[in-house]
Amino acid sequence: MSPKIQTLLDEAAEGRRLTLDEARLLQLEAPLHDLGHAAHRVRLRKHPEPVVTYVVDRNINYSNVCVCACRFCAYYRAPGHDECFVLSFEEIGRKIAETIALGGTQILMQGGHHPDLPLSWYEDMLRFIKANYDIHVHAFSPPEIVHFAKISGLSTAQVINRLKAAGLDSIPGGGAEILVDSVRAKVSPNKCPAGQWLAVMEEAHAQGLRTTATMMFGHEETEEERLEHLFNVRASQDRTGGFTAFIPWTFQPDNTNIVARPLTSPEYLRMLALARLVLDNVDNVQVSWVTMGPKIAQLALYFGGNDFGSTMIEENVVRAAGVSFRLSQGEIDTLVRAAGFEPRQRRMDYRLVEDKK
Amino acid sequence: MPDLKRFNALGLGAVARKVQAGERLSLDEGRALYACPDVTAVGALAHLRRTALHGDRTFYVVNRHINYTNICVNGCAFCAYQREKGQDGGFELSIQDAVDRLLAAPLTPREVHIVGGCHPDLRLAFFVDLLTSVQKALPQATLKCFTAVEIAHFARLEGLSTIEVLQTLKNAGLAMLPGGGAEIFAPEVRRRICPKKSDAVEWLRIHGEAHALGLATNATMLFGHLESIEDRLDHLDQLRRRQDESLRNGGNGFTCFIPLPFQTENNAIKVARPLTGLDELRTIAVSRLMLDNIPHLKAYWVMLTVKQAQAALFFGADDLDGTVVEEKIGHMAGATSRQGLTKAQLEAMIRGLGLTPVERDARFNPIGGQA
C-alpha cells in the first residue's frame, strides 16, 4: 500500500472529509483489508459502544402492478398481467397484526406504480392502519411519491403533506438505484430522475419525516457513477441532515432483463467501506444480509456497517430475483453476538426499543 | 508491510513480524490468533502470507467429482451421505456409469476426484479397473482418488499393507490422494464422531507412505462440530510436522489444505454453537498462518457458499477448487451452494475480485504455462 493511501485512510478514519479525487483513489487502489479497517474505525468513532442494531419489521408490498418496467426488476407485473395483485386493507391489517405479535415495531410498505389507484386509496390505507394498529409506517419510496403526484395533479410536497397527515411516519430510500441520470435512463427509464429523487427526500425532511437512502449497484453503472451516487447523497445530507442510514446492496440478476455478473462479496465490502468513509454525515450504515447472506453480513460489521437492517419477516422483491436468505430475530442475535457485538432492537429513527430483555 | 500499529494494539505485533519474515508460528501464537477480538486483523495477516506465497494468483481447476458409492461400513456421526448395505437409497456406480458421467461433463476435466464410502464388498481389482478405465477415457486428467480411510479399508479387505495398496493403485494411474477423512485428529473427538474410521496415526502414516511413493496428497480438517480450538491447532500442528518429514524425505508432501466447515443438517451430531461466517474465516486464516510448509489453501465453495469462498480468498485461501458439476456429500448435509460453476463464471468472478485467475491441474501446475 502506498504511503499516500495509508495517509488518506488514516485521515478519513479520523473524520476528515474526502474529496471526489481522494475517494476515487481509495475506490481504485486501497487494499480491501485497509479500506475495511479505516471504515470500521469511523464506525467505532461514531458508535463507540459495541452494539449492532436492527429493526423488527415486515415488508408489505401492497401491489406488484407497475407501469415502470425497470429492467432490473423481477417483481413487478405490467397492468393486465394474470399475476397482478393489490392487497386488500384487511389483508394488510392481518400482516400488520402478525408483525406486532412477533415484536415488530414497523412495516415497510412499497409497491409498484399502479396506474389506477388514486391518492385517496393510499391515504385511506394509512388511516386504516393508524386507526387499528400501533405501528410505525415506513412507506412509499420517492418514485412512488412522484407517481402519486402525477396521478393526483398535486406537487410532491403536497402529496407528502397529505400522506403525512394520513399517518405516514417515514420514507424508505428505495428507488435510488444509482442516482445518476445516464444510468437511470438505461435501467429504469420510466422512474423519476436523480434530482427529483433527492428533491422528494429533501422535501420530506423539510416536513419533518426522516428517510433512509439506498444504492443498488452492480448493473450497468460504472465505478465512477457509484462515487457520484455517494457524493449526491452526501451533498443532500449536508442540506437537510434527514437521512438516518445508508443502505447499499448489490444487484441480483436472476429473472431480470439485465445480464450482469453477480458482484462478489469483496466488491460489496469495498463499496460498503467506501460509503462509510465518504458519507461522513450519515450516522448509520446497514449491512445487507438479504442479498449477501448471513456470513458476509456478519463480516460487513467490520467493513463500516453498524446495523443489521431488519428482520424482514416477509421479503418478496429480492427473492423474485433469485436470492432467498431468511433470518429470524434469534439468528440475527446469534450472528451479531458471534461477531463480538451486542444486538439491540431499534426503531426507524435508531432509538433503541428499551423494553426488550 | 503490515500496519504494525494495528497489530501491536491487538497484541499481535510479534506475530505480524514473524509472518512478515516467513517464520514459523508457535502453538501459543496460534492461540493468540484465535483469541484476537478483531477477526479481520487475523485475516489481514493471512492475506499478507497468501500474497507473499502466490501474489494475486487465484487457482481453479476444471474438475469433476464422482462418488462411486454411499454404502459405508463406518457410519460416522457427522455423515448425512452414508447408507448401510441393503438400506434404501444406497447406490453403487458401475465403472461404465463412472466413465459415462465423466465424459458427460461440459468440459473435459483436468482433475478427477473419486471418493466413496468404505463398501464391504468392492475389491481392489474393481478400483484398479476403475482407475484404468477412467485414465483411458480421460488421458489428460489427473486421478485424485480415495481418501486414506478408503486406502486403509481396501488394505483390510485384501489383507495387504497400505503401501501395497497404494503401489497397486499408483500402477493403475493414481496420482494423488484427496485430503478427506482427516476430520479432526484428536482421539477423543474422533471416538465420538467417527469411531470406526482410521485414527489419526493411520491417516498420517498413509499420507507419509503416499508421499514416499511419489504421490502428492491433500489434507482436510472438518471443524465446527465437537472439537475445541485446541484440537484445531493440534490438527494443524500434526499436519505441518508430517509435512516437514515428508519434505525432508524428498517426497511431494501435501499440496493443498482444505478446511471444511461442519454442515449441521441431516446428521446425528448436535452442535451447541454452530459456526458462523466469521468463525469459518478465522479458522481459514489461522490455518494459512500455521501451515507454513503447505503451499496451497482451498476455499471450497461447495461447503463455504460462493460468497464466503470469495471472501476467504482474502483470508488466506488461494484456490477456489473448481467446476465440480455434481456434489453429493456436502449437499446432503445441508450445504446450500449450487451444484456447479462454469469455467467462465469462475474466471469472471476471480477477475472481479481484482485477482488473477490461473487454471491449474490437480497438482497446481498452471494449464498452458500461465504463471
- Report the residue from A33, A36, A296 with minimal CB separation from B307: A296
Shortest distance, CA B271 to any CA of chain A (angstroms): 14
The pLDDT > 70 percentage for chain B reads 94
The DSSP result for B248-288, as a single string, is: HTT---EEEEEEEEPP-SSSSPPPSS---HHHHHHHHHHHH
Q: Looking at beta carbons, which residues of chain B come within 8 Å of A295?
A: 276-278, 280, 304-305, 307-308, 311
Q: Is B277–A340 a contact, with Cβ atoms under 8 angstroms apart?
A: no
Q: Is A298–B276 a contact, with Cβ atoms under 8 angstroms apart?
A: yes
Residues of chain A with pLDDT under 70: 355-357
The whole-angstrom separation of Cα A139 and Cα B284 is: 42
Shortest distance, CA B196 to any CA of chain A (angstroms): 33
The whole-angstrom separation of Cα A347 and Cα A170 is: 11
Interface residues on A facing B, Cβ-Cβ cutoff 8 A: 1, 6, 32-34, 36-37, 40, 261, 263-267, 269, 292-299, 302-303, 334-335, 338-340
- Report the residue from B1, B44, B353 with minimal CB separation from A266: B353
- Contact between B135 and B114 under an 8 Å Cβ cutoff? The reply is no
Residue corresponding to grid cell 410498505 = A109
The whole-angstrom separation of Cα A21 and Cα B85 is: 67
The pLDDT > 90 percentage for chain B reads 79
Average of per-residue pLDDT values in chain B: 92
Which of A2, A6, A33 has the most B C-beta neighbours within 10 Å, making it the best mutation to test the interface with B?
A: A33
CA-nearest residue of chain B to A262? B349
Q: Looking at beta carbons, which residues of chain B come within 8 Å of A265?
A: 307-308, 310-311
Beta strands A284-285; B254-261: pairing state? unpaired
CA-nearest residue of chain A to B46? A33
> HSE-up of A85 (CA within 13 Å, CB side)?
10
Helix (H) or strand (E) holding B6: helix B4-9
The whole-angstrom separation of Cα A193 and Cα A215 is: 14
- Contact between B256 and B296 under an 8 Å Cβ cutoff? The reply is yes
Q: Residue A35 to residues A137, A275, A292, B42, B111: CA-CA distances in angstroms?
A: 36, 11, 19, 15, 37
State pLDDT tens for residues B40-84: 999 999 999 999 999 999 999 998 889 999 999 998 888 888 899
Cell numbers describing residue A332: 440475527
- Report the residue from B37, B281, B352 with minimal CB separation from A264: B352
pTM beyond 0.90: yes
State pLDDT tens for residues B183-195: 999 999 999 999 9
Shortest distance, CA A303 to any CA of chain B (angstroms): 9
Q: What is the pLDDT of residue A74?
A: 87
The whole-angstrom separation of Cα A260 and Cα B84 is: 45
- Report the residue from A265, A266, A302 with minimal CB separation from B40: A302
- Contact between A135 and A141 under an 8 Å Cβ cutoff? The reply is no
Average pLDDT on B98-123 reads 91
Q: What is the pLDDT of residue A357?
A: 46
Nearest to A142 by CA among A228, A9, A231, A236: A236
pLDDT at B278 over 50: yes
Helix axis angle, B200-212 relative to B148-158, nearest 10°? 90
Helix (H) or strand (E) holding A242: none
Strand stretches in chain A, DSSP E: 51-55, 57-61, 106-110, 136-139, 170-171, 210-217, 243-250, 284-285, 307-310, 342-345
- Report the residue from A37, A297, A298 with minimal CB separation from B6: A37
Average pLDDT on B204-225 reads 97
Q: Looking at beta carbons, which residues of chain A come within 8 Å of B43?
A: 33
Spatial CB neighbours of A319, under 8 Å, sequence gap ≥ 6? none
Which of A219, A252, A264, A290 has the most B C-beta neighbours within 10 Å, making it the best mutation to test the interface with B?
A: A264
Which of B20, B263, B276, B280 has the most A C-beta neighbours within 10 Å, making it the best mutation to test the interface with A?
A: B276
Q: Is B310–A269 a contact, with Cβ atoms under 8 angstroms apart?
A: no
- Report the residue from A36, A267, A338 with minimal CB separation from B276: A338
The whole-angstrom separation of Cα A295 and Cα B36 is: 19
The DSSP result for B44-88, as a single string, is: HHHHHHHHHHHTTEEEEE-EEEEE-B-B-S---TT-SS-B-TTST
Backbone phi and psi for residue B194, each to the nearest 5 degrees, phi listed first = -150, 65
- Report the residue from B44, B278, B311 with minimal CB separation from A266: B311
Q: What is the pLDDT of residue B251?
A: 84
The whole-angstrom separation of Cα A283 and Cα A276 is: 9
Q: Looking at beta carbons, which residues of chain A come within 8 Å of B44?
A: 33-34, 37
Q: Is B47–A33 a contact, with Cβ atoms under 8 angstroms apart?
A: yes
Q: Looking at beta carbons, which residues of chain B come within 8 Å of A261?
A: 345, 348-349, 352
Q: Is A32–B314 a contact, with Cβ atoms under 8 angstroms apart?
A: yes
Q: Residue B368 to residues A177, B207, B223, B281, B358: CA-CA distances in angstroms?
A: 42, 29, 36, 32, 10
Q: Tell me the one-letter amino acid at B16.
A: A
What are chain A's domains? Answer: 49-345 (3.20.20.70)
Beta strands B356-359; B63-67: pairing state? unpaired
Q: Is A261–B277 a contact, with Cβ atoms under 8 angstroms apart?
A: no
Q: Compute, in degrees rounded to 10, the torsion defined by CA atoms B180, B186, B190, B195.
A: 110
Q: Looking at beta carbons, which residues of chain A come within 8 Å of B41?
A: 37
- Report the first-to-last Cα separation within chain A, whole angstroms: 45
Burial class (CB in 10 A: 0-12, 13-18, 19+), A49: exposed
The whole-angstrom separation of Cα A338 and Cα A83 is: 42
Q: Looking at beta carbons, which residues of chain B come within 8 Å of A34?
A: 3, 44
Beta strands B216-223; A170-171: pairing state? unpaired
Backbone phi and psi for residue B129, each to the nearest 5 degrees, phi listed first = -65, -45
Q: How confident is the model at residue B337 (pLDDT cuts 50, 70, 90)?
A: low
Beta strands B174-177; B142-145: pairing state? parallel
Helix axis angle, B124-137 relative to B95-103, nearest 10°? 30
Q: Is B89 left (phi over 0), alpha (psi -120 to 50) or beta?
A: left
In this structure, the number of other CB atoms found within 10 A of the CB of residue A350 comes to: 17
Q: Is A40–B311 a contact, with Cβ atoms under 8 angstroms apart?
A: no
Q: Residue A174 to residues A109, A140, B47, B258: CA-CA distances in angstroms?
A: 11, 8, 36, 41
The whole-angstrom separation of Cα A26 and Cα A66 is: 39
- Report the residue from B1, B314, B345 with minimal CB separation from A33: B314
- Contact between A107 and A93 under an 8 Å Cβ cutoff? The reply is no
Average pLDDT on B120-133 reads 96
Backbone phi and psi for residue A285, each to the nearest 5 degrees, phi listed first = -125, 125
Q: What is the pLDDT of residue A315?
A: 75
CA-nearest residue of chain A to B44? A33
State pLDDT tens for residues B260-272: 999 877 677 888 8
- Report the residue from A36, A293, A302 with minimal CB separation from B305: A293
Residues in chain B: 371
Shortest distance, CA A150 to any CA of chain B (angstroms): 41
Q: Looking at beta carbons, which residues of chain A come within 8 Å of B280?
A: 295
Spatial CB neighbours of A35, under 8 Å, sequence gap ≥ 6? A9, A26, A270, A273, A274, A277, A303
Q: What is the pLDDT of residue A130?
A: 98
Q: Is B43–A33 a contact, with Cβ atoms under 8 angstroms apart?
A: yes
- Contact between A299 and A268 under an 8 Å Cβ cutoff? The reply is no
Q: Is A266–B39 a contact, with Cβ atoms under 8 angstroms apart?
A: no
- Report the residue from B1, B273, B311 with minimal CB separation from A296: B311
Backbone phi and psi for residue A139, each to the nearest 5 degrees, phi listed first = -150, 160
State pLDDT tens for residues A204-259: 999 999 999 999 999 999 999 999 999 999 999 999 999 999 999 999 888 788 89
The DSSP result for B87-126, as a single string, is: STT--B--HHHHHHHHHTSSS--SEEEEE----SS--HHH
> In this predicted structure, which of A76-85, A162-171, B230-239, B332-341 has the lowest mean pLDDT?
B332-341
**Helix, strand or coil, per DSSP, at residue A284:** strand
pLDDT at B325 over 70: no
The whole-angstrom separation of Cα A219 and Cα A189 is: 14
pLDDT at B37 over 50: yes
Q: Is B352–A339 a contact, with Cβ atoms under 8 angstroms apart?
A: no
Q: Is B277–A298 a contact, with Cβ atoms under 8 angstroms apart?
A: yes
The whole-angstrom separation of Cα B83 and Cα B71 is: 5
- Report the residue from A37, A261, A299 with minimal CB separation from B348: A261
Helix (H) or strand (E) holding B357: strand B356-359
Q: What is the pLDDT of residue B108?
A: 85
Q: Is A265–B354 a contact, with Cβ atoms under 8 angstroms apart?
A: no
What are chain B's domains? Answer: 57-369 (3.20.20.70)
User: Which one-letter DSSP state was computed for residue A261?
Assistant: P
Q: What is the pLDDT of residue B371?
A: 45
Q: Is A299–B354 a contact, with Cβ atoms under 8 angstroms apart?
A: no
